Chains A and B, each alone.
Chain A
Amino acid sequence: MADRMIEIADLHKSFGALHVLKGITLEVERGSAVALIGPSGSGKSTLLRCINLLETPNRGRVRVGERLMEFGAGKTRLPGDRELAAFRAQTGMVFQHFNLFPHMTALGNVMEGPVTVARMARREAESLARSLLDKVGLAGKADAYPQHLSGGQRQRVAIARALAMNPAVVLFDEVTSALDPELVGEVLAVIRQLAEEGMTMVIVTHEIAFAHEVADVVGFMSDGQIVEMGAPAKVLENPGNPRTQAFLERFHSFIGSYGQGAGGRAPG
């Protein structure tokens, strides 16, 4: 179906003897935001890293946009460097620990993809990068190096860097988990804006309240599988799966004991 931006089928990933993803099927509609929640170690981040092939799946199919990759028995030929790079260029990724390039300014970080990968002229790349920094509220920090930015600012630069490649999908990997609580809001505001603009996104998060607010679909992962998936109101308020119920109960009791001011983060 042409309206599906991401299609994942029967995806398996192991690290040595550890079977991390056990047959994932996931479809993401164009323009929709999918939030993945679940306990630590359930495979959320690994799934995200398989979507842009930062991890190589052991088995299964991954399609993003027009590009399809198949892995597993009988498909011994792994994609080459050029093919992988082209596949990854279609997705943007934002990481928990920002991973900005410390030897480049904020502007340089955002320009790097367009200039080095997309071969855009520097002048053009610079104006693109400046407009993206402006979009994330950091027009004034273009010449600052990452070490002189706060965590929230770094993460917003990282979002601008991901957007600079004009990706079909943006993957968010627990992007607020390493931030001080008072800096979470500014990053979530940028993601919220992207959702409103209709950016296709997959968001791995512990911010349950945020997932409820911005996601069109919420998936609950446990032990390497997506055990429940559906509208936020259904999955988060009225979960059908006992594991989802148990996870959210812990979360609600966490909120109960710390109050809403805790930022709505799930435990674990």
Chain B
Amino acid sequence: MHYSWDFSFLWQYRTFIAIGLGFTVLYALGTIVLGLIIGFVVGIARLGGSGDAAAEVAAPGGPNLRVLLTGRPYAAALRGLLFLYVEVFRCTPLLVQLIWFYYAFPVIVGIDIPAHVAAGMTLSLYTGAFYAEIIRGGVNSIERGQWDAARAIGMRRGQVMRRVILPQAIKRMIPPFMNQSITQLKNTSLVSTIAVSDLLYQGEIITATTYRPLEVYTAVAIIYFGVLFPLTLLAQLVEKRMAASD
């Protein structure tokens, strides 16, 4: 099989490709930030589920979140809803979610949703579900004794969280957070299916006009790799540093 590779034509599309890469990075960063906000709220709210933190949160005199989430008529419903959110987004493919939010959701709510909004919303909700579990797991992984010791010197619940639990938990959350975020950048490529002009979408457009998919997809792959490889190296470095400081 013979194929004569020729990448030279790509140079004339450099601005076009750069725009695509810009959207890809923008979607990644934007949805990571939004996802983190969602994940933090949902993860902390779901602490009442199980583990040592849960025992503390469920104890008398709990924080406002607990008042919100336990002992009220709507509390069980809200907890159920958060559980459902996390599991639905973790257990269905992102591609299906994107298509559903772009095509089915507008029909249900009766509002037209532009592609870039549907894309941003779905990606944020998707990664937010994973972040929520990372945050919940990180907090729950801190031993009961840390709560005991902090409460014993008279700390209030918020102080225990801020001074004792979160500083330790965040350290444990960082490696899975970095993994999820690296995956998230690749996940943005799926928005091309609903015509958002990310890197992959731009590649598809170029392919359609040049009929040279092999070069185009090779180039796209190299660009993704070029962005993410330094980040995975960084993640490994951070992980090693953390292991060393333990």
A interface vs B, CB < 8 Å? 52, 54, 56, 78-86, 88-93, 95, 97, 99-103, 112-113, 116-118, 147, 158, 161-162, 164-165
Q: Does B87 contact A (CB under 8 A)?
A: no
Contact of B246 among A95, A116, A147 (CB under 8 A): A147
Q: How many positions in chain B have a CB within 8 Å of any CB in the partner chain?
A: 25
Near A by CB (< 8 A), chain B positions 142-174 give 143, 145-146, 148-157, 159, 163-164, 167-168, 171
Chain B positions within 8 Å of A78 at CB level: 60-61
Task: Determine whether the beta carbon of B145 is less than 8 Å from that of A88.
Answer: no
Contact A52-B155, Cβ < 8 Å, known A78-B61, A97-B145, A99-B146: no
Task: Determine how close the nearest CB of chain A comes to the CB of B173; give it in whole angstroms.
Answer: 14
Near A by CB (< 8 A), chain B positions 107-157 give 143, 145-146, 148-157
Task: Determine how close the nearest CB of chain A comes to the CB of B150; give it in whole angstroms.
Answer: 8
Chain A positions within 8 Å of B168 at CB level: 101-103
Contact of A165 among B145, B151, B153, B171 (CB under 8 A): B153
Task: Determine whether the beta carbon of B155 is less than 8 Å from that of A83.
Answer: no
Near A by CB (< 8 A), chain B positions 61-88 give 61-63
Pick from A52, A99, A112, A162 the residue with the most CB of B within 10 Å.
Answer: A99
Task: Determine whether the beta carbon of B167 is less than 8 Å from that of A116.
Answer: no
Task: Determine whether the beta carbon of A95 is less than 8 Å from that of B156.
Answer: no
Contact A91-B167, Cβ < 8 Å, known A79-B60, A79-B61, A81-B61: no
B interface vs A, CB < 8 Å? 59-63, 143, 145-146, 148-157, 159, 163-164, 167-168, 171, 246
Task: Determine whether the beta carbon of B148 is less than 8 Å from that of A54.
Answer: yes
Alpha-carbon separation in the docked complex, A42 to B62 (Å): 29
Pick from B149, B152, B159 the residue with the most CB of A within 10 Å.
Answer: B152
| Residue of chain A at shortest CB distance from B143 | A99
Task: Determine whether the beta carbon of B60 is less than 8 Å from that of A116.
Answer: no
Task: Determine how close the nearest CB of chain B comes to the CB of A27; give it in whole angstroms.
Answer: 22
Contact of B157 among A79, A81, A147 (CB under 8 A): A81
Task: Determine whether the beta carbon of B154 is less than 8 Å from that of A86.
Answer: yes
| Residue of chain B at shortest CB distance from A117 | B154
Task: Determine how close the nearest CB of chain A comes to the CB of B93; give it in whole angstroms.
Answer: 39
Alpha-carbon separation in the docked complex, A163 to B149 (Å): 13
| Residue of chain A at shortest CB distance from B155 | A117
Known: A101-B146, A101-B150, A116-B163. 20 other contacts (CB 8 A): A54-B148, A79-B60, A79-B61, A80-B60, A81-B62, A81-B63, A84-B60, A84-B61, A85-B155, A86-B154, A88-B154, A90-B154, A92-B152, A95-B145, A99-B145, A99-B146, A99-B149, A113-B154, A116-B155, A161-B153
